[in-house]
Structure 1
């Protein structure tokens, strides 16, 4: 299984999931959206995990990566 993770803040990581994925022999790639990491092509991934955060979806001015994330999820 190949998992792509969208992480929105440094304080809400995918730690428990990453441990499980490593134990199961799965791969997990994390996109740190708050650091402006680019969103890769989703085709190679079997799963998408979207982490939480304190922001709201309409707070685009403070979080300019939100539209690209919404577009990626819609694909």
Structure 2
């Protein structure tokens, strides 16, 4: 996975808590932390269990934010 700089998200980014991730989405950031790979994403999600996070996602030509509630550990 690749990340974008903090200022690279276009002004046309949309925030919508009803959006869901889709196959092919590229996760760029989690709460403003660049995501470099799957293992890092798993670690970040584990450290945010029971909390809400914002994902910056590249979907085709669009860049958008998704709200995600990370489940608590059982």
TM-score (norm 2): 0.27
Larger helix proportion, structure 1 or 2? 1
Larger strand proportion, structure 1 or 2? 2
TM-score (norm 1): 0.27
